[in-house]
Homo-oligomer: A and B are copies of this chain.
Amino acid sequence: LRAEADAGVDPESTPDVGIIMGSDSDLEVMSGAHDALAELGFAEQTDFHDAPDARFTYETYVVSAHRTPELMYAYGETAAARGLDVVIAGAGGKSADLPNMTASIAYPIPVVGVPVQEKSVDSVIGMPTGAPIVAVDAGKSFNAALSAAQILSREHDELRERLVEYHEGLVGGVARDSRDLHD
């Protein structure tokens, strides 16, 4: 990671969103973020030095706060230099150290914490004054990705439009459900 951070790659070809989780057992919940980003036209970048063509990209890492604290530290510290703009971090147990510590180390990059289970909510959200993190509801990695896109859309009008299009699809779905009820 530190090598990548030093590589001085053009920001346009680095991932915009970093998705991290503490264990591959969190992947099932966290894959909602993949779904949402795919829905919005993001491409996954699996090799830092070989960016996909898509304008917006994301990467995914397993980084454990407790089993690999050094790796977590390195990920947070190099996030800015590696060109990330937002980090989505999942937390699997009652101790949500991964999103919390990453929010502190990667600061001032915004971190959206995803409590993987209901019991992680308090710990993800409960940062002390002066140490910001924002959180979504338990298991809602899909919404975390929408929020990440909303953040990026402040700067990128293109994303704003994609978000609006996505929402219009939802409205149509509700109308359809209501009609189906009457049949």
Residues of A within 8 A of B (CB): 22-24, 27, 32, 46-47, 60-69, 71, 73, 85-86, 92-97, 100-101, 103-105, 107-110, 112, 119, 121-137, 140, 142-144, 146-147, 149-155, 160, 163-164, 167, 170-171, 173-175, 177-178, 180-182
- Whether A107 and B143, one on each chain, are in contact in the complex, defined by CB atoms closer than 8 angstroms, is no
- Whether B128 and A121, one on each chain, are in contact in the complex, defined by CB atoms closer than 8 angstroms, is no
Copies of this chain, whole number = 8
- Whether A62 and B135, one on each chain, are in contact in the complex, defined by CB atoms closer than 8 angstroms, is no
- Whether B128 and A136, one on each chain, are in contact in the complex, defined by CB atoms closer than 8 angstroms, is no
Enumerate 17 A-B pairs (CB-CB under 8 Å) in ascending A order. A23-B128, A24-B177, A64-B174, A66-B104, A69-B105, A71-B174, A95-B127, A96-B123, A107-B167, A127-B143, A130-B142, A131-B143, A132-B144, A134-B134, A134-B135, A151-B151, A155-B155
